[in-house]
Amino acid sequence: MGKWSFSVPEGYFDDCAALAAQQPEGRLTTQPLFALTPRAYPSDDPDAADQRPWARFTAHVAALNREAPDGVSFKILFLTRHGQGYHNLRKQQLAEDEKARPGDSSPNDAECFDASLTPLGVVQARALAARWLASVAVDGLPLPRTLCTSPLARCLETSAHHLRPVLAAHGRPFRPVVKEALRERWTTHACDRRRPRAWIEANWPMCVLEDGLPAEDELGARPRAETEAENRVRVLGALEDVFEEEEEEEEEEEEEVVAWTFHSLAMRALLGGLGMTPFKVQPATTVALLVRGERVAEVRQHEGKDAR
């Protein structure tokens, strides 16, 4: 049993599963206002200087946290899928190749190993940065305080291209935490393997490697594919880490805003684990959520006994 139970309060964001169903290939793109539903909040202050929609929502989440009982907290999550990687491009090529075997849509070529972004993927990630910057200025979109990324190259690159410019424009450091649990679901394909920890340290010195990140790819050494249920447990464990770490610190408004850069299947696993209807997203797409976390009662009681 995990230490936290999670839910997604209704009434704050548009139905992204329904929106995705209306898109080509059923894949959602980044929505206006990041799908925040325009509405009034009990915490609205008519005298507040900033009446922009995201500023009012962020203030509402701060109010929810101030009024929440012990063991309950709320966080705004920005979930971003990486831009197009070379493995995605290869998959498209296979689908277009008349000689490709039916169903052969998961390339295992050596060139797909821990694939980097294609030039198009870089353009997509930079365009997403521009969208974030515009929303910060126009809508009051909050800057994330906690940044987390998958250790796979395409996510490291996407995070740098789409978040570093946003933070730099506001004098904030870019220091994402590399979390093993945010990796794509392990399918035994080359694109799901990762490089050694030493490679990440040497090539991404601005990143913070989480404690315990394996030196080598232990997940990629498994002989069988990971199930969706196993993937769900893994990504929910990463979410527990965020709530656990933030609970130990003195809360500030910005500590309620978390940004993840990870993968399509891992995102779907997280959505399902939060009780939502999973949906697909296009490359370099950001989805925003409000997540309520509650410390499991049995865990609180046990830790209270330990304290005594």
For position 245, which CATH number holds?
3.40.50.1240
Q: For residue 78, list its beta bridge partners.
A: 259, 288
Calculate what percentage of the chain has a pLDDT beyond 90. 83
The answer to whether the beta carbons of residues 237 and 2 sit under 8 Å apart is yes
For residue 171, is it within any domain? yes
Q: Provide the pLDDT confidence category of residue 93 given band limits of 50, 70 and 90.
A: confident
What is residue 96's predicted lDDT score, i.e. its pLDDT? 67
Please check whether residue 59 lies inside any domain of the structure.
yes
> Is 28 inside a domain boundary?
yes
Q: Give domain status of residue 92, yes or no.
A: no
Across the range 212-230, mean pLDDT stands at: 95
Beta bridge partners of 74: 292
What length does the chain have? 308
Q: How far apart are CA 3 and CA 237, in angstroms?
A: 9
Cα(156)–Cα(164) distance, integer angstroms: 11
pLDDT above 70: percentage of residues in the chain = 88
How far is 238 from 210, CA to CA, in rounded Å?
Answer: 11
Number of domains making up the chain = 1
**Summary mean pLDDT of the chain:** 91
Would you say residue 101 lies in a domain? no
Mean pLDDT within 87-106:
67
pLDDT at 168: 98
Residue 75: which domain range? Answer: 4-84+116-295
Residue 303 located in a structural domain: no
Q: What is the pLDDT of residues 114-136, one digit of tens each?
A: 999 999 999 999 999 999 999 99
Model confidence band, residue 281 (pLDDT cutoffs 50, 70, 90): very high
What was the pLDDT predicted at 97?
64
Pairing of strands 72-81, 286-295: antiparallel
Neighbours of 42 (CB within 10 A): 8
| Within-domain flag for 109 | no
* 200 falls within a domain: yes
Instruction: Quote the strand ranges of the chain, DSSP E.
Output: 4-7, 27-28, 72-81, 146-149, 177-178, 208-209, 257-262, 280-281, 286-295
pTM here is: 0.91
Average pLDDT over residues 62-77: 96
